[in-house]
Structure 1
Amino acid sequence: MELTEHTAGNHHQIRGVEPGRVLVSDQWYASSLVVGARYLDSDWPVTSLDELAGPRIDSLVEMQPELVIVGAGQHQQFLPHETQLAFIRHGIGIECMTLGAAARTFNVLMSENRRALAALIIG
């Protein structure tokens, strides 16, 4: 069996998730944010999945990720069908999961040098 060691590169990592806050690199955030490899918007005005529409989708699409991971809450939720279609029309994958699962998935994607964004809804 061949093993490969993954080390932290020059990109953001989500290091912790607690109720009401997320640790990105060495900074805690208590409001919704969007994180990419070298991108961080800590002033993202989305507090629920229903608010992820229109200009907020457009701003994520403009960054041309291959995948957007939406993290919200501690229980599985689903994005509205229209929101999913908006990303699919642009050839961008979209997944919605709990905040903790989104953090873990984002870190794996970063270790694989993928063009991904984590849209983390902290309400």
Structure 2
Amino acid sequence: MRLNEVVYSDAKPVEGYGPGFFRIGGKVFHGPVLAGTSGTTAWGGFDDLDPLLALAAKIDILFIGTGADTAHIPAEMRSALEEAGIGVDVMSSPAAARTYNVLLSEGRRIALAMIPV
């Protein structure tokens, strides 16, 4: 069996999460986060569209983690993101983190917005 070390681009992988926090690229972030090639920052949640829309030219898909369980995002949010040309995939935050890490290791143009579990 051949093993290859995973090398990430400028974006950092999600290394862990727990009640109210995420560990991304060796740093702990409390509350909702936005991660991608521009780094990881705090995110204001579903009402904070501006930083997500600013990613339109940089990404093909945005993974949105809705906490411990999958939930619907506001219809206005989905419409605004899709009108900006951003593909949206909504799932629980643990699933979003795993999916983000896999596609990040493949060098895909993605970002991740997550609500803590």
* TM-score category of the 2 structures, normalised to the smaller one: 0.7 to 0.9
Question: Cα deviations across residues 45-90 of structure 1 (Å, max 9, x unaligned)?
Answer: 22xxxxx24xx22321212221111112211101122221111112
Following the alignment from structure 2 to structure 1, what is the Cα–Cα distance between the partners of residues 4 and 37?
A: 19
Helix, strand or coil at the partner of 2:104: helix
Under a length normalisation based on structure 2, what TM-score does the superposition of the two structures give?
0.83
Runs of 4+ in 1 over 6 A off after TM superposition: none
Do the aligned partners of 2:52 and 2:81 also contact (CA within 8 Å) in 1? Answer: no
Give the RMSD, CA atoms, in angstroms. 2.0
Following the alignment from structure 2 to structure 1, what is the Cα–Cα distance between the partners of residues 4 and 84?
A: 34
Q: Aligned residue for 2:70? A: 76
The count of residues paired between Structure 1 and Structure 2 equals 113
Answer 1 or 2: which has greater strand percent: 2
Q: Aligned residue for 2:79? A: 85
The alignment-based identity, stated in percent, is: 27
> Are residue 13 (structure 1) and residue 13 (structure 2) matched?
yes
Helix, strand or coil at the partner of 1:117: strand
Under a length normalisation based on structure 1, what TM-score does the superposition of the two structures give?
0.80
Gaps (5+ residues) in structure 1? 47-51
Amino acid in the other structure paired with 1:77: A
Question: Cα deviations across residues 1-60 of structure 1 (Å, max 9, x unaligned)?
Answer: xx8846122430101121221110111212111000342113x222xxxxx24xx22321
Helix, strand or coil at the partner of 1:28: strand
Q: Aligned residue for 1:36? A: 36
Do the aligned partners of 1:14 and 1:24 also contact (CA within 8 Å) in 2? Answer: yes
Do the aligned partners of 1:17 and 1:99 also contact (CA within 8 Å) in 2? Answer: no
> Are residue 57 (structure 1) and residue 49 (structure 2) matched?
yes
> Are residue 113 (structure 1) and residue 112 (structure 2) matched?
no
Q: Aligned residue for 1:49? A: none
Following the alignment from structure 2 to structure 1, what is the Cα–Cα distance between the partners of residues 87 and 65?
A: 14
